[in-house]
Structure 1
Amino acid sequence: MSVSVVIPSTLQRNTVAACVDAALTAARGLGPDAEVLLVANGPGATTAYRGPADPMLRVLTCEPAGVSAARNAGIAAARHDTVLFADDDVLVPPDWCARMAAALGPGVAAVGGPIRVAVAGPVTAFMDHLRMFDATPLDGSPGGLLITANAGLRRDLAPDGPPFDPGRHAGEDSDLALRLRAAGRSIGWLSGGTPAVHHVDEDVRSLVGRSLRDARTAAGLVQQYGHRALSQYLPSPWATYQAVRDGRPQWFRRFGEIGAPEVRAVFTTLSLIWVTCVVTGYLEQTGRLVGCPLLDVDEDPLVDELAALVAGLAAAAGPVDWAASPVTFAAGPRAEVDERVPVEAVCDAFRRHTAPHEDAPPPLLRALARHDRSWHSGRADEDERVRRLWSDLAPRRAELTLAEVDAAARALGLPLSAACSHLDDDAPPLPGPQFSG
């Protein structure tokens, strides 16, 4: 089986040449019939790629803006039905094409793979530790959603029409995965081996902006497919947001597996910020989609204030090797929040720069409360899998690495964050919905 690798790009990032070179190296492992398609994307797109020429590389243009259009153009031009996807800031390992192609075996329509983040400081270390770019498992199976920074698709098993919705400029990969699942198609997961490496900005502003943007996209997917499709991503949104407004946030990681207190404090702060941004963006966009404003968000000052908080905390931590934060599962729960975590300052930032819309209709608020109760009731199966995981791992707890826990969790259809949540079990329970009905 040979493959076509599709990489959409505006040709603006300084990682493009390295990304293409890594994909070409991986493609050569399958022989000369494999190919890499770099799709120059956006208005005024040209084929002015400045990397070295290679007989396995084709550079295409796609005038319509957006990764959906670019990936569809690459799929249409591909010589092979097995199509792999990477982003222009992702470096794939040398055996990537061979392993992804093998994972797209009989009956498997799509496959996702692990993505690590190149660590340059506290923000990228947090993203990497959380496996933020790994596709989320669903329904207890290792394969769930897709992240097209590292994914593969069998074109002959794709839904009718363009595989990626050309009307979507974000979340198109999750949309494809949900359509595949609705059609009864199987989505696999590439376990083990060397992961792809994502190069993202070491910047709290980037994390906050990405969180808000992804959550707004998630709101549209929930409207279309129902909140169960993304229940692991959205932690009881309305109750979580209200708890932050009340100054008593609950649903964020304490990172009991992190041994260094100063690293744990920074990660806990980033987790609180990330979760609150997710529910804020989701609720804001939900109001827009149903035509009833729900939240008012003043994004720029919010981002600036959160960035300043994290910068101060990271500076106070002193010299830290963020790429080698010690991890141990031997210790008991460390659920209490370190006094260095600026919980009240984070809550104040969200109180100042976000607010429930004064005309939010009670029926919508009651619907959000029902969503929250439904989310809570759906936790039982995940909790049981977490208990099973740690029952199996308990004899080796002191020796476990993060990678081992990650692999064991994925095999049970659990995200790593859910697997590690047992270390936060001493934390108070998440507050219930604030509205009845």
Structure 2
Amino acid sequence: MNTPQSNASHSTASSAPLWRLMVATGNVVQAVRAGRSMTAELEAVSAELRPGVQALSFQVMRQLGRAIALRALLAKKAPPPAADALLCTALALVWDEHAAPYPVHTLVNQVVEAAQQQRQTRPQSGFINACLRRFMRERAELVARTETDPHAQWNHPHWWVERLQLERPEQWQTLLSVAQKPAPMTLRVHQGHHTVAAYQLQLEVLGISSKKVGLSGLQLDKAVPVQQLPGFAQGHVSVQDAAAQLAAPLLLAGLDTEKSLKILDACAAPGGKTGHLLEYCPQARVVALDVDAARCQRIHQNLQRLGVQADVRAADAGQVSTWWDGEAFDAILLDAPCTASGIVRRHPDVRWLRRPTDSAQLAKIQAQLLHALWPLLAFGGRLLYCTCSVFKAEGDDVVQTFVRRNTDALLQASPGHLIPGQIPRGLPVGDNALGEHDGFYYALLEKRRH
């Protein structure tokens, strides 16, 4: 996600001065530290600045723990939020000069300029300048002093590191290291249009290298704009992580996909899994729900591009009486709300937004959704419960409790927690064939008669 090295004009390809990028990036960092989503903040940035600000913001989020630790050494008392965000932004970008997106002296000068250009940070511009100049002089010593701080070393909150150490004693370091790297771009090929091999050849002709992952996926060696993908606008291919691509085949395996199955996608936005279900089972009658009407528009857009249709409704899946017509479903996909701890490399702000109590609170919501939707499933039908979390409270703990309380629920062979770097089990694909996948959880439940 690094932006290219800047020349002496300190300008991006759009000719925006670097200090303006720094102002906007500092604002994003301040917003995240106040509990707001980076995605929403970036959407509010002007189109001219957004690519550069996004690249810088992603890098800062991945190094924010180190930056906060360094700032604490430079100034025991934090400056006002806007100045602190700008100072931490600078430290996150310059502490490792080999990974700096611009020459370090350029970044320091432009951050100070950014502080002087803003009314809310102008009074602290001298303080920011002094801190950064001191850091430049004492870099080696200051960085060394932060090496024993897990917050700085792993760039995750202390509680997050400790939870992974407890729950994943053999994988915690891998999980934290993977979260520091940009996620690969993985495609799902619509095999109604092309075989995976045929589409891979189309990419090769364009100079786009890839490797096969999963049943119908291609992981690109280097990300490209979707407009460069052959047939993207016509729905020949979609962007979807390899772990997420397992939902449709796991849910529909063993069911007669030639029939007009009635399927519920309970938390469907933005519609990637909904579309995949319809690619697998074109005759299916799919009801796709999302509680947010605006996000339902995303579902419509994705389905329209794929050339498939579903009954998309803005509704709370847990409030069954407000949307269900009384006809049982043959299959239910419950991609439940979660901490998103498994996709933190794609959303590096998540680690700074979550709180230690979030998993337990979300687990209650997950259990409530399972309890509400289970009666809607026909006997012999299947429910696939999944989350994009690596925390056990949002995976095995929820499912095992549900199975104990519902004797008509049979837990089928399922992958369970998919941990990056760990060979998966119970997949409809060969072992370790998912490439560099996200962290995920899957449990397949079949409804049987007592």
Q: TM-score, normalised by structure 1?
A: 0.28
**Greater relative CO (CA pairs within 8 A, separation 6+):** 1
Q: TM-score, normalised by structure 2?
A: 0.27
